[in-house]
A and B are shown apart, each in its own frame.
Chain A
């Protein structure tokens, strides 16, 4: 909803815009606001302006960006007090002739590495803890697929919206609970969790509900709903978390269980066993053990005790 104004690119921003950038130097621990005057043009985004500053005025400004078109979700930052994707924010949207000033800060709730660059390690760790991939009882079939899982368009429509997440962290930065509680899973991880709970292809929904059902899981959400407000992909995590929570209650009261999972299609006639990955597709670092990543337990809090959940299929 924020930053999705298709008309904004047709408007002309003020000729010169002052960019107030929040800087942070990790070595000295100094924090300060620095101002840059930038000559703008129509269609210029905040990321364009920051890159212009970096090229022409100050090489030391640090930020993260990649695709420049709102797909990768790298350039999240707080622009005029609102978490936005810098590449998707037109200057004309956030500055006008009356107030040609744009303030740029690093995302809230993330540790700041330097200037506008934030550390996503913890965020991705939470994302990983909800097991954001399909899990089937038949693990062998998953490793060596013999067909495809059949999903009807109606079933797909129910979860499609929640699959659009690009993990940009804007929702996490906007969340008032994440602003207090460092252990809260956050709207992104919980939205993803819900997306797999209702995914007809997934069979480990009970384990997923267990992950959500922790002291810092879905019950910490207070429905301030700012996450949905700032989401650049209209994923609506606020709705996802409320649905997840009421589903969890229904499951606990014995009123809901996943009735049907997507069946496997017939084995295609031209089926061949999966080829091993080519060398260039292998992991760069030999230290990363994919098997271990898969089998690592998820720790959840059950009645005050920390319990390790393991994804086991062979017992």
Chain B
């Protein structure tokens, strides 16, 4: 009940982000993945390997948690800014969340 339920998820996603975003960023270190440069790690030969393995589930979790954490943060700011429009902000934020979560799901599913 109350605002703490959603706020608790803000912190749980924060903990998940530390793990998954950390992993996502480590992938961009060229000498860890055997690439020549940072820019090299973004080429399809490296990126395509990450999809199709168990890590694509990690990427999906990362997308959901990052979207939730970020959009909930924006929701908080919007609630502070115009508290009277609270329901409208909630509706907008959830709509954006669903649309972008679907795009992310489509990306991972198509490249599996």
Q: How large is the interface on B (under 10, 10 to 19, 20 to 34, 35 or more residues)?
A: 10 to 19
Give how many A-B residue pairs fall within 8 Å (CB-CB): 52
> Hey, which chain B residues are within 8 Å of A105, CB to CB?
none
B3 touches A219 (CB 8 A): yes
Whether, in the assembled complex, B76 has its beta carbon less than 8 Å from a beta carbon of chain A, the answer is yes
**Interface membership of chain A positions 213-225, coded 1 if the CB is closer than 8 angstroms to chain B and 0 otherwise:** 1111101100000
Given A180-B81, A220-B80, answer yes or no on A252-B86 (Cβ-Cβ < 8 Å).
no
Closest residue of chain B to A217, judged by CB? B3
Indicate which residue in B4, B79, B86 contacts A249 across the interface (CB closer than 8 Å): B4
> Hey, which chain B residues are within 8 Å of A182, CB to CB?
83
Chain A residues bordering chain B, tally (CB within 8 A): 23
In the complex, what's the smallest C-beta–C-beta distance from A226 to chain B, in angstroms? 16
User: What separation, in Å, do the CA atoms of A182 and B79 have in the docked complex?
Assistant: 10
Whether, in the assembled complex, A304 has its beta carbon less than 8 Å from a beta carbon of chain B, the answer is yes
User: What separation, in Å, do the CA atoms of A105 and B1 have in the docked complex?
Assistant: 41
A302 touches B80 (CB 8 A): no
Whether, in the assembled complex, B7 has its beta carbon less than 8 Å from a beta carbon of chain A, the answer is yes
Given A214-B3, A215-B3, A302-B1, answer yes or no on A252-B79 (Cβ-Cβ < 8 Å).
no
Indicate which residue in A183, A248, A252, A304 contacts B83 across the interface (CB closer than 8 Å): A183
> Hey, which chain B residues are within 8 Å of A303, CB to CB?
1-2, 5
Interface, chain A (partner B; CB < 8 A): 177, 180-184, 210, 213-217, 219-220, 248-249, 252-253, 300-304
